[in-house]
Structure formats: C-alpha cells, structure tokens
Amino acid sequence: MTDSKIVSRLMVYAPELLAATTRVRARCIAATALGCDVLHAFDIQAEPFPVVVELANRAFLAAQARGADEVTAIARGGHVMLVGDSGPDGWGGHLMIRLPRYHALIDLDFQQFDRPRQQIEAPPAELFPWPDGTTSRAFTGAHGARLSIASTGDRTFERSPDWWDVARRAPIVAAVCRAIRKNRLG
C-alpha cells in the first residue's frame, strides 16, 4: 500500500474513531498522538507540530479590508477565532502532524473549527502543504474563509495524558491500523 493511501485512509478513519471514543470537541493532542502512532506503524515519519491557528470568515476579512477594526468587523457579521499559545492553565494551542518527507501537515482534529452559521466549513481532517522552513502560512477555504497557521515550538502538550499515555490510546491505534489495512471500519 502506498504512503498516500495510508494517509488518505488515516484522514477518514481516525476522526471517525476518535469521535466515537471521546466526548470533547477539541481533541488535537489525542488526534496527533494517535496519528503519529499509526503512521509510525506503517513506517511513515511523522512528528507533532504545535501551531497557533487563526480562522476568519469572508465577512470579517471584507470588513477589515474596508478599514474596520475587529469589533466593527464582528458586528458586521464577521467571525474570527484564535487558538493560541498555552497559558498558566496548560495547553491552549493546536497540534498537527508534520510529515517531513512529504512537506505537509495533517490535522486530524480539523472538525473543531467547523462553524457553518458563520460560513466557516471544516471537514473532519485536512492536509496542508508545508514546505521545509515554513513558519507560517495562510490558506483560503470554502466560502472565502482564511486559515492562518504559524508554528510555535510550544511543547507543553507533552504534559497531557493524551500525549504520553500510550496504553490508553493503543486500542484505537490498533483499530485505525486495521481499518486502513481493510479500507473499512469494523
């Protein structure tokens, strides 16, 4: 099986199995740990990649282009969200998977950014081109929304049991590996 098939299947099956086994909406640490474990099982180099994410809808961007400040842009139907740096209460960033060999990032928890009422659509998982040496990049999505990603180097996610408790996630890693091999769940 090719690496691209493995990655494509990972992006289908991992979010489904995570949704079935977790109750929280934002689960980027668990998703990244799971994804790295699965990719390593298939001998694909993968590493955690901590980022700050800003997502803005088209109305927000249009209002700002006309000179509006953030408050005015939001009052005119704009929506912007920032998933930023960690603070005293722990992890506050976002975690993705970096595939160095393929110059790409995978977000297996992209669904947490889905805001249909604000014209921001986010699929369960997403793949982003990320050339070597890139520290930040912006992407335009459905309905003109803009996603900005910037690397942070913040490793506080490593304190989370979602990251370090390998035994806890082992059953779901095994289930995702089976689904990838069979190209189906169950």
Q: What is the pLDDT of residue 142?
A: 66
pLDDT digits (tens, 9 = 90+) for 43-57: 999 999 999 999 998
pLDDT beyond 90 at 10: yes
Residue by residue, DSSP assigns 61-120 as HHHHHTT--HHHHHHTT--EEEE---BTTB--SEEEEEEGGGTEEEETTGGGG-BGGGTB
DSSP-assigned beta bridge partners for residue 176: none
pLDDT beyond 80 at 173: yes
Q: What is the pLDDT of residue 24?
A: 65
Q: What is the pLDDT of residue 131?
A: 93
pLDDT beyond 80 at 87: no
- First-to-last alpha carbon distance for the chain, in angstroms, is 19
Q: What is the pLDDT of residue 122?
A: 85
pLDDT beyond 70 at 81: yes
Q: What is the pLDDT of residue 26?
A: 67
pLDDT beyond 80 at 85: no
All structural domains of the chain, each given as residue ranges with its CATH number in brackets, are 3-182 (3.10.550.10)
pLDDT digits (tens, 9 = 90+) for 109-140: 998 888 888 888 889 999 999 999 899 999 98
pTM for this structure?
A: 0.89
Spatial separation of the C-alpha atoms in residues 132 and 53, rounded to whole Å:
19
Q: Reduced to 3 states, what is the DSSP secondary structure of residue 140? A: strand
Q: What is the mean pLDDT of the segment spanning 93-120?
A: 92
pLDDT digits (tens, 9 = 90+) for 12-31: 999 999 988 877 666 899 99
Q: What is the mean pLDDT of the segment spanning 154-162?
A: 90
Four-CA torsion 118, 121, 125, 127, nearest 10 degrees: -110
Q: How confident is the model at residue 88 (pLDDT cuts 50, 70, 90)?
A: low
Q: What is the mean pLDDT of the segment spanning 91-103?
A: 90
1 CB-near residues (< 8 Å, 6+ apart):
42, 180, 181
